[in-house]
Amino acid sequence: MYDPDDRCGPHQVVFEDKRCVCEPGAALTPTGCVPCAVHEVPGTMGCECESGYSRPSAGAACEEVPAGLGTACNLTTMPCTDAVYSHCAADASGSGYCTTAGCTSSADCTSGYACNTSGAASFCQRPPMGLSMSCTSDADCAGTEATYCDTFMSHSCLVQGCTVAPDNCFEGWDCCDLSAFGLPQPLCIPQGQCVQ
């Protein structure tokens, strides 16, 4: 029922006496305006971690990223200078980021990084940029490492173009060949959910 004294929904305010918008500190999501938590800011598709913070896993609270971790680097002209995060690891785009080397399990890593033991030397690998970010189309995922928008179930950005054998998805994700469902490239989906 329309209430002229309360025209907007939860966590909304009237803008210029014409339309409802999210209140300050709240973000628009597919289910309405949601207040952002500590160390979160409203983003284009929901609440995002403020600068200097990241989520250890999807849905987790934003935690401060240690100084030096994830700093841009390359092996020739811009080495890692932090004493702890001194290993320069390449990401899918070919650029690099500073992290630690010599891990034996993901318990040795911080800020949602996972131990990658697939190469000659193990290192704490950064989660793919954009992974699990809320989206409504591929355009929302553009410019990240997770370029496919799952508009059917999770409404989130997923990594596409992975290899099934060996599985090169980030820890906790499986490479799934979904060509039987019309998808041209395999996708990294949450572990245990691949149905072929």
Predicted TM-score (pTM) of this structure: 0.69
Does 195 map to a domain?
no
Q: Which helix (H) or strand (E) holds 106?
A: none
Question: How many separate domains does the chain show?
Answer: 3
**CA geometry: angle 68, 71, 76, nearest 5 deg:** 115
Q: Does position 120 have pLDDT exceeding 80, yes or no? A: no
Burial class (CB in 10 A: 0-12, 13-18, 19+), 139: exposed
- Split at pLDDT 50, 70, 90, the class of 4 is low
Identify whether 1 is part of a domain.
Answer: no
Measured CA to CA, the distance from residue 19 to residue 86 in angstroms comes to 51
What is the C-alpha to C-alpha distance for residues 80 and 98, in angstroms, rounded to an integer? 6
Domain hosting 30: range is 12-64
The mean predicted confidence, pLDDT, of the chain is: 86
Residue 131 lies in a domain: no
Write the pLDDT tens digit of every residue in 146-174. Answer: 999 988 877 888 999 998 888 889 988 99
Q: What is the pLDDT of residues 29-60, one digit of tens each?
A: 878 899 999 999 887 668 888 888 888 777 78
